[in-house]
Amino acid sequence: MNAVFLLAFILMIFLVVLARGIHKLLSRKLKWRILIVYVSVLVLATGAYFMLQPRFITQNNVVEKPFIPDVLKQSNGGEIPQKYEVTSWEIALENQSLFLDTAAKFDGVDFEEPTDLYVESDVYIPVLVKQGEVEKAHVTVYETPTTLKGIDISDHVAISTVDVTGNHVIVTPTPHSTTNFHSIRNDVTLYQFSDRRSMLGIHYDLDIGEVGLVITVPKGTKVEADSEYFDIIE
Amino acid sequence: MMSLIQKVSISEAVKKQYFYKLKAYQGMFSTMIIFQLIGLFFSFQGEFVSTSHNNIAVTTNVYAADLIVAFNILWVFTMAIYLTNKASKNMMFTFVTDKRTNHLANLLFIITMSVIGGMTATLLGYVVRLAVIGYFGLEHILFFDPITLIGLLTSIATAVLYSLFVAIIGYTFGELVQLHKIFMFIVPVTILGYFITGINLFDEPSLITFFFFESNFSLFAIKIILTSALLFLIATQFGRNLEVRRP
């Protein structure tokens, strides 16, 4: 896009330099015709835009979502709605113990390297641990959508993922990512008289999705997790 | 013997001069298209808004026609000044005319420029929007501000009023410069000084908030029209006694 823009800009400068020559070249009639064609094209384009507009509007569906740590910390171990469930596993535990790790630590990488400063701050996962009359451990992963000003952008933004290996539940931190979007807003000539300033301040409203775990383990199972990265709620 | 002197009414004289100016300055509209197309290409860059949280950065390019309207305003300002230059004034001496009819014909021409410019600049914005949707695809458009017909008309009317206001400022400035060249420097420096010293962080009442922060369209239109009328009246008083063609 930048290359196209640059080329177009050079072309425009070229046109401006030639503007005087163009005026001389064009006959009076032709100048009026150009103006009439220009206005007609603009009117047609605006008409087309108005006709297509209903298709564009359906894009904006504002999402309401729960705050996972708050739900899990409710006195009765509140339930997260089913729609936020991503996946679940049944794990046969060895030695009646379950480990919660972050991928970097699990791989033996020092997680407190300065370069991983942001990765570190990203991982803090609430985990509700229930002990029950079950034979296997049951791990359920919940995830809320990432939103920008209330719009779900989860399909475009990757957050922490959870996997299971043996009796280790491993959380892979959110990878570094930059996502580009495009937005269309009304002109300031209209904003002046409008209360609806939807595009203003969109940079304040990035809400990253949260990952939460609900783990049910057989009675007497020891759940080990680094309190720096996991918030165990029992 | 038939008299060669015909009494021409003011309205007739203004009308004749206006149509003459439309023909003489039709090149201005080609310049308008070029100005607006420059604005169009800048508009394709969009406003860049970025936010980040931990590892995630999200950038949004927001597209609108603000720059096209701005370039259009720049065009009317330049053209309004052009109307006051020596060559333009001398051209009108081919008519049986006085300063009043010339000013009135210029006012009509400025209104024509503002209407055509304001309307086309706003409509060109929809070409930008269509091109953005066509180029990136609807799935990459995150936010979309819908527009109603009333909204479109308000947008056009506002662009026209801003164009008119700035054109009249340009016209007054041009007349002032014709009075004495020193104003060519004094006026821009004064305006620049006002903007620099008048940085308004707390939206306190000022000349800028008086126009730009007016959220009632009718009041805004009244403010713009009355101020433009006042400025135009002032412009007509400059060089009132200069009736002789200057070499």
Is the full-model pTM beyond 0.90? no
Q: Which residue has the tokens 């104003």?
A: B183
Chain A neighbors of B20, CB-CB under 8 A: none
DSSP for B116-151, please give it.
HHHHHHHHHHHHHHHHHHHHH-GGGEEEE----HHH
Chain length of chain B? 247
Cα-based distances in Å from A192 to A118, B76, B149, B156, B217: 40, 21, 17, 13, 9
Strands (E), chain B: 47-53, 56-63, 141-144
In angstroms, the CA B28 to CA B76 distance is 9
Cα-based distances in Å from B233 to A149, B117, B164: 49, 23, 14
For A56, which of B45, B55, B144 is closest by C-beta distance? B144
Query: Which residues, numbered 108 to 167 in chain B, qualify as contacts with chain A under a Cβ-Cβ cut-off of 8 Å?
Result: 116, 119-120, 122-127, 129-130, 132-133, 135-136, 138, 140-147, 149, 151-152, 154-155, 158-159, 162
CA A25 to chain B, closest CA, distance in angstroms equals: 11
Sign of the Cα torsion A198, A184, A206, A141 reads positive
ipTM above 0.90, yes or no: no
Cα-based distances in Å from A69 to A45, A141, A209: 49, 13, 12
CA A3 to chain B, closest CA, distance in angstroms equals: 11
Chain A neighbors of B115, CB-CB under 8 A: none
Chain B neighbors of A19, CB-CB under 8 A: 30-31, 34
Chain A neighbors of B34, CB-CB under 8 A: 12, 15-16, 19
For B140, which of A5, A182, A196 is closest by C-beta distance? A182
The per-residue pLDDT for B120 is 96
Tens-of-pLDDT digits for all 247 residues of chain B? 445 555 668 888 888 889 988 888 888 888 899 899 989 988 988 888 888 887 788 888 889 999 999 999 999 999 999 888 877 777 766 665 678 888 999 999 999 999 999 999 999 999 999 999 999 888 788 888 888 899 999 999 999 999 999 999 999 999 888 887 888 788 888 877 877 776 665 566 677 778 888 889 999 999 999 999 999 999 988 866 555 555 4
CA A7 to chain B, closest CA, distance in angstroms equals: 10
CA closest to A34 among chain B residues: B30
Residues of chain A under the 50 pLDDT cut: 105-121
